[in-house]
Structure 1
Amino acid sequence: MTEVLTPQDAEERVSLQQYAEKAYLDYSMYVILDRALPHLGDGLKPVQRRIVYAMSELGLKASAKYKKSARTVGDVIGKFHPHGDSASYEAMVLMAQPFSYRYTLIDGQGNWGSPDDPKSFAAMRYTESRLTKYSEVLLSELGQGTVDWVPNFDGTLEEPSVLPARVPNVLLNGTTGIAVGMATDIPPHNLREVVNATIHLLENPKATLEDLCGFIQGPDMPTEAEIITPKADIHKMYQTGRGSLRMRAVWDKEDGDVVVTALPHQVSGAKILEQIASQMQAKKLPMVADLRDESDHENPTRLVVVPKSNRVDVEAMMNHLFATTDLEKTYRVNLNMIGIDGRPQVKSLDKILGEWLSFRQVTVRRRLQHRLEKVNQRLERLAALMIVFLNVDEVIHIIRTEDHPKPVLIERFDLTEAQAEYILETKLRQLARLEEMKIREEQEALEKERENLEKTLDSARRLKTLVKKELQAVADEFGDERRSPIIERGEAQAFNELDLLSNDPVTVVLSEKGWIRSAKGHDIDPAALNYKSGDGFKFAVRGKSNQNVILLDSTGRSYAMAAHTLPSARGQGEPVTGRLNAPSGAVFEGALMGDNEERVLVASDAGYGFVAKLGDLYTKNKSGKALLTLPKGGQVMPPIAVTDPANDLLAAISNEGRLLVFPLTELPELARGKGNKIMNIPSARVQAREEFMISVQVISAGQQLVVYSGKRHTTLKASDLDHYRGERGRRGNKLPRGFQKVDSVAIKD
């Protein structure tokens, strides 16, 4: 059976897609406009506004007695905010916490949470509350025709659409909120700074953002911790309405201990101690001996970090803690709010203050207009009272004798409808109190007030002056000094693994068969250590326990191992091949230790080489890094540490007994490669292993070169070496007769 739709049914039916889109859009707009974002005018979200208004309706002003918070929450959710009581109470608690709000709106009695745990507040049936004196800044002009009123959720009551704030509260207390597709994160600011900037903009409508930033240094959190964001970044944040803010704890040294006295906004001291303690347990803070929380009523924040000794670099330690704990925290800034046009928008600082001034001037104008109407109404009534006073017998006679006295009174005394109505409503007992002098005094005062009101309403300049005076009055009454100093600091750096290690002297020893170990100290004799049968000492290198050991193999590849991870020299070590993936058949030709910026000479016996930084030899790869390119037939020579690359000499000796000496600066500094020619040796002779470099040495000032040949040796002083000086890449001169078959070469100090 086919369903027949009437035209009315067809109109009521919509597709599921259209319905879902509309429903989601309606919900999104509701969350944005009526829940998550603050209004630029009073800086409050709807729930906050309703709480403050409900408390004022309950008479809970700053001078009133405290009332149970449950009473307020009941009124809020029953009359204005049909949501959960716990959500409303949490919003209320936030406005009462001096560590959350820069200028609190609610004065709480009882447990309202602590900086360590803001959500540790007592249930609403236990706590009591009333409004603070500062809340008058939002409420004092409420009943004076300043704002529009809208029906509450069930239409039985009316509530203000916005409160007539006398200062830009949206910047003073800040807020955070998450809507649908947008969020807001407005940091608190200092009242005096904001008022001064607002007054400047009022007097100079063309003031630039730079001018306003001269008054508003930056956000001002309800904590004494430092804001370390650079001024340029803060300026950009105010320009775009988006950015980030970094805060750092304040600390000082007391008797060698570090004492933290102020934490970033909404950071828990207990959590900080937990973060530091977990690092200590993980052995990532070996320089810290103890932690204490000495916070009390007099010192709300006092965290003590005890270094292990007075040799600990406290600045470096604190930099590490700033980088790895909440002692330094970053806050997102997103100046998103509902403007006076009713639309959400991310606004720059000058736009916020400019729009708020427009809102304030409209509010003040409405207040003055409302007062003028009241004054005119009162003057009209006073004129009627004067007529009654002067003609009391006649007025009474008309009221007693006439069936319809109102038109008679209007005609007789030339009254308005309202005046006649007022005379008829006046009680007899009031007539006895009517005195001509009192009426005339009140009339004079009101006429003077009306004149002033009309002048102010007719003059934009007078209106601005009034707004300025009222702004200044609020700043004088509630203003205070900046709490969060703005100090530019460098970026905190966490310790890496090597920074946390001790820098004890060690000697790393490698055996002929590739077994490696590390001995404490530099005064050990590596050759005297115990080796496996058939194995023996090959080479050793001295350094620090927090440095890397750089190895160079016979294929020209370099490898790195952390010295502190090597086995102790008390045993026989472990094979290097267990840690590194060297090519098959490769043997290790040398080892180096030192800082990354130290220089090292790398060469092949084919007569080529270059100078490299020790850091260029480092690699995390177990398979090593291709460092030295070997010419055909060439072999790797042990790398040599360079102490003074600008003044050292290079001495190269071939197996034919030739010696060439030239300044080390003639060799290039490379990160990898074949290098430049050190000594001129024909490649064919190298490939046939007929001629090659047998030794290459670096000679510093004051050192001598000792050449060994069989049982004989000769020492070449600086003056002797001049005979062998030449340009890089030459053949070199022959050594004296009897020393042309060189066995080994050494450097002597």
Structure 2
Amino acid sequence: MAEERIQSIGLHNELQRSYLEYAMSVIVGRALPDVRDGLKPVQRRILYAMHELGLTPRYSYRKSARIVGDVLGKYHPHGDQAVYDALVRLAQDFTSRYPLLDGHGNFGSVDDDPPAAMRYTEIRLALIASDGLLDEINQNTVDFIPNFDGSQEEPIVLPAQLPFLLLNGCSGIAVGMTTSIPPHNLGEVVDALIAMVRKPKLSDEVLLDFIPGPDFPTGGEIFIGKGVKDTYLHGRGIIKMGGVAHIEELQSAKYRNRRCAVVITELPYQLSKASWIEKLADQINDDKITGITDIRDESDRDGMRLVIELGRSTEPKEILNILQRRTSLQTNFSAIILALVNGQPVQLSLRKLLEHFLSYREVTVIRRTQNTLEHVDKRLEVVEGLIKALCDLPRVISIIQSLKNIDNTQLNLQAHLNLTSIQADAILNMPLRRLTNFEKNTLLQESTLLRQERRDLYLLLRERESLLKSITNELKSLKKRFATPRRTVLRDENIYPNNYLTTKVEQQQVVEDPLLNSQLLISQDGQVRISTIQSIKKLRLEDSVEIGHHPSPLQLLLTVNSCPNLLAFSSTGRVGLLRWEMVREQPHSIANFLPHSLREGQVIQIVPLPSYTKPNLSLGLLSSDGHFKRLPLEVFRDLSGRATTVFKLKQGVNLLRVIACLENQELILASSMGRLLRFKLQKGILPLVKRTAKGTLLLKLLPGESIAGATCIEDQSSLILATAKGQIKRLSCSSLKVTERGHLGQIGLPFRKKGDTLVDLQSTSSGIVSGQLSSGRSFRLRISDYDIESTLGFGQQMQLARGERIKRLIPLIRNSNSK
């Protein structure tokens, strides 16, 4: 019986080692592409197997099953379906900008139709793969390694002449990392490469002029802005993309009988047409989108055409904007440029990717040149030997006739004519028909050409300038052969801040006469919509509501015909205009109507900006660390489509609240421990400052303390205060003393329960205040139901569910016409 060999090892050590080996195997061996040829291992093996089978564009197609079998048996011992799926993607012209395979048969469609089985489809190499990826494979340009069983050899990487990682993009999910690279236009990429060869220290701005954005095979539009810039400069970003649509008139008649349709000719990249139609139909059936009477797919071999027929009274531009906001007609591409560099996953900027490719291309051209030089030297050696033989032909014949042993003949030729063994062997193998003066002249001409070629090759190896010139000429040749016009239209995100409407005129046209007397509603959960006055009355906003699962509380209610500009403030200290003109009856997220650059932080507050200049009116900004500053309204009147920073905050500090302030009003500031401070808003105490000012520290926080909130008050007004554990109190402002900066303040609300904290305070001027709980439930308070108390009062206790907490109070802001 064999002796048992059991070795005790730590489980955590074995798991760590095994998992690391598995992770690296997936990262290097399956999921991520190589920066040099832009291919994953399975894609590389498919292309090399087809090259070995001779399936070039000049020959007929071969069954896909044959290729899959060769790849599995020789190079890739995994599932056959996985190999076939990879093969199919290489042949799909709606997936790859420049397909590397030429398919014959059903290889799927943009409708997400599955491809036919591998026994039915046929395949061969596309011209760009044959000439741009595999043309130099037999010229010792790359290294080969044994396959999985050592019976074959396969290339480590293919000698790509173009950066296919950029041209076709790539997507893959590895262990703990993912890559998602969009495709690009060949002509633009080649121009950028040539510019970098000529000027290696090309600025990022100029480089982005050469490659302004991705070029998707399905066309569509992309909005050039921060997302594209982040992708190219840092290797990661969100690229806004959309489909292409226009409005057609179906029936020429008077305005009342006019019928129109929204016609979509291009969808965003990797969006299934059939799935998009199905989801749109579901929204129509659920009455989430109204005004659409029919959806027809009229797509054919000439291109896509989706006809969305509208009702007679439906405004086409309104429906188009709804489609862009509520469906995937506009969506995002999350770009992550992650690839293998020297076997390690690296996130790359556009510049780094191109530099890595150019470095690799230099290496392959040098190796190709060295290989060609070796062949030229060998051929030149043979040619010079044959010329020597033809110049002294009688002597050669005499030597051959005088010796009986062929080995001695070769040695004698070498000795008498000063030949190498290779030259002597070539002379002995030369047919008699070549012993003519014509052959001698041909060899002399060939010798001259070979010597010139050798000089050129040596020049490439000695002078890098000549090498780079050769690379540039080859890139120009490839561009001339394979470049195609850009398919994806580029839009400037700054000109189209919300991407849906193009001009202010169009935005104003959306607000039609029937809606002029309606109300604009913005709720606490970030939903915005327009509603009629009759619908508003049904909400009974003046009544108190007990705790329950109610719709999200309203924070803004304004009449459309007198609605001012709305300022949206984010937690990062930035502000931008809310384009409310595009809002309709269906609720949408306010993010759809904000500048793209404002979406980095959470929108904390929407503030109406009066269209007139109100004397002494300013906006106060309060940060979470207790800093406060007042800005004049003029700072906010010239906002364009971009967001701008109005409060520069330290790391970890957020903008907490924005307060409308009048000169000589009073500011009440509260902390989580119940401390309240009362300040006079005067130029000498809290003056107006510039946008770049840091702000004044009003309250130095104690350990464990935080800012609860702040509000502006009149002399005889009151405040409503709320604690996390449900204590509600209406406090008389006159009971608070006016203090100076740095004062400790006074306790405005004694807590009933141990561990309670003050979470918010609001002015009572609106008459109604809503509250939001940690469970998602909400309530609404009528201020008049609470008695005014002094600082010593405890207020009323609200009954909360176990573990439930009050998060914030939400006052309702409205203009006079909304009451």
TM-score where L is the length of structure 1: 0.67
Letter in 1 for 2:458: E
1:415 aligned residue: 419
- Structure 2: state its 5+ residue gaps: 250-259, 502-510, 519-530, 551-556, 565-607, 609-715, 720-762, 790-809
Change in 2 beyond 3 A, CA 1:433/1:246: farther
Q: 3-state SS of the aligned residue for 1:367?
A: helix
1:207 shift after superposition: 1.4
1:251 aligned residue: 245
Letter in 1 for 2:299: S
2:337 aligned residue: 335
Q: 3-state SS of the aligned residue for 1:77?
A: helix
Measure, in 1, the Cα distance between the counterparts of 2:409 and 2:96. Answer: 61
Match of 1:50 among 25, 45, 48: 45
2:484 aligned residue: 480
Measure, in 2, the Cα distance between the counterparts of 1:199 and 1:170. Answer: 17
Change in 2 beyond 3 A, CA 1:432/1:608: closer
1:162 shift after superposition: 1.2
2:782 aligned residue: 626
Q: 3-state SS of the aligned residue for 1:486?
A: strand
1:630 shift after superposition: 6.4
Change in 2 beyond 3 A, CA 1:549/1:93: same
1:543 shift after superposition: 6.6
Matches within 5 A, 1:165-564: 165-228=160-223, 230-255=224-249, 256-298=260-302, 300-310=303-313, 312-339=314-341, 341-400=342-401, 401-403=403-405, 404-428=408-432, 430-431=434-435, 435-487=439-491, 488=493, 489-491=496-498, 544-549=533-538, 551=540, 558=544
Q: 3-state SS of the aligned residue for 1:296?
A: coil
Change in 2 beyond 3 A, CA 1:426/1:25: farther
Aligned residues of 2:768 and 2:780 also touching (Cα < 8 A): no
Change in 2 beyond 3 A, CA 1:493/1:593: same
Aligned residues of 1:503 and 1:544 also touching (Cα < 8 A): no
Deviations 1:135-179 (A, max 9, x none): 111111221221112222222222221111111111000111112
Q: 3-state SS of the aligned residue for 1:184?
A: strand
Letter in 2 for 1:242: R
Aligned residues of 1:225 and 1:250 also touching (Cα < 8 A): yes
Change in 2 beyond 3 A, CA 1:613/1:280: farther
Measure, in 2, the Cα distance between the counterparts of 1:468 and 1:613. Answer: 72
1:482 shift after superposition: 1.1
Change in 2 beyond 3 A, CA 1:434/1:328: same
Measure, in 1, the Cα distance between the counterparts of 2:312 and 2:413. Answer: 99
1:29 shift after superposition: 2.0
Deviations 1:273-307 (A, max 9, x none): 11111111111122222222121222x32112222
Aligned residues of 1:376 and 1:450 also touching (Cα < 8 A): yes
Deviations 1:692-712 (A, max 9, x none): xxxxxx99xxxxxxxxxxxxx
Aligned residues: 551
Aligned residues of 1:543 and 1:594 also touching (Cα < 8 A): no
1:98 shift after superposition: 0.6
Change in 2 beyond 3 A, CA 1:627/1:429: farther
Aligned residues of 2:132 and 2:161 also touching (Cα < 8 A): yes
Measure, in 2, the Cα distance between the counterparts of 1:618 and 1:316. Answer: 33
Q: 3-state SS of the aligned residue for 2:331?
A: strand
Q: 3-state SS of the aligned residue for 1:159?
A: strand
1:92 shift after superposition: 0.9
Deviations 1:442-482 (A, max 9, x none): 00111111111112221111111111111111111111111
Deviations 1:670-694 (A, max 9, x none): 9589xxxxxxxxxxxxxxxxxxxxx
Measure, in 2, the Cα distance between the counterparts of 1:434 and 1:34. Answer: 57
Identity among equivalent pairs (%):
39
Measure, in 1, the Cα distance between the counterparts of 2:359 and 2:346. Answer: 17
1:628 shift after superposition: 3.6
Measure, in 1, the Cα distance between the counterparts of 2:447 and 2:211. Answer: 46
Q: 3-state SS of the aligned residue for 1:345?
A: strand
Measure, in 2, the Cα distance between the counterparts of 1:241 and 1:593. Answer: 43
1:354 shift after superposition: 0.8
Matches within 5 A, 1:70-219: 70-117=65-112, 119-135=113-129, 136-219=131-214
Matches within 5 A, 1:683-722: none
Q: 3-state SS of the aligned residue for 1:264?
A: coil
1:425 shift after superposition: 3.9
Measure, in 2, the Cα distance between the counterparts of 1:484 and 1:238. Answer: 17
Measure, in 2, the Cα distance between the counterparts of 1:491 and 1:365. Answer: 50
1:594 shift after superposition: 6.2
Measure, in 2, the Cα distance between the counterparts of 1:41 and 1:503. Answer: 58
Letter in 2 for 1:406: Q
Aligned residues of 1:269 and 1:301 also touching (Cα < 8 A): no
Measure, in 1, the Cα distance between the counterparts of 2:374 and 2:779. Answer: 91
Letter in 1 for 2:347: V
1:110 shift after superposition: 1.1
Deviations 1:335-369 (A, max 9, x none): 11112x23221111111111111111111111111
Letter in 1 for 2:237: G
Match of 2:56 among 40, 54, 61: 61
- Could you say which structure has the larger radius of gyration? 1
Measure, in 1, the Cα distance between the counterparts of 2:213 and 2:176. Answer: 27
1:503 shift after superposition: 7.0
TM-score where L is the length of structure 2: 0.61
Measure, in 2, the Cα distance between the counterparts of 1:243 and 1:593. Answer: 36
Letter in 2 for 1:93: V
1:316 shift after superposition: 3.5
Q: 3-state SS of the aligned residue for 2:293?
A: strand
Measure, in 2, the Cα distance between the counterparts of 1:286 and 1:326. Answer: 17
Deviations 1:415-438 (A, max 9, x none): 223323333444555546972100
Q: 3-state SS of the aligned residue for 1:545?
A: helix
Change in 2 beyond 3 A, CA 1:593/1:70: closer
Measure, in 2, the Cα distance between the counterparts of 1:672 and 1:74. Answer: 69
Aligned residues of 1:250 and 1:261 also touching (Cα < 8 A): yes
Aligned residues of 2:396 and 2:413 also touching (Cα < 8 A): yes
Letter in 1 for 2:159: P
Aligned residues of 1:504 and 1:545 also touching (Cα < 8 A): no
Measure, in 2, the Cα distance between the counterparts of 1:213 and 1:597. Answer: 40
Measure, in 2, the Cα distance between the counterparts of 1:433 and 1:319. Answer: 83
Measure, in 2, the Cα distance between the counterparts of 1:60 and 1:74. Answer: 15
Measure, in 1, the Cα distance between the counterparts of 2:372 and 2:156. Answer: 21
Deviations 1:223-262 (A, max 9, x none): 221112x423211111111122222111111011111110
Measure, in 1, the Cα distance between the counterparts of 2:110 and 2:788. Answer: 72
- Structure 1: state its 5+ residue gaps: 507-541, 561-576, 581-591, 600-606, 634-669, 674-697, 700-749
Letter in 2 for 1:377: K
Aligned residues of 1:185 and 1:334 also touching (Cα < 8 A): yes
Change in 2 beyond 3 A, CA 1:394/1:434: farther
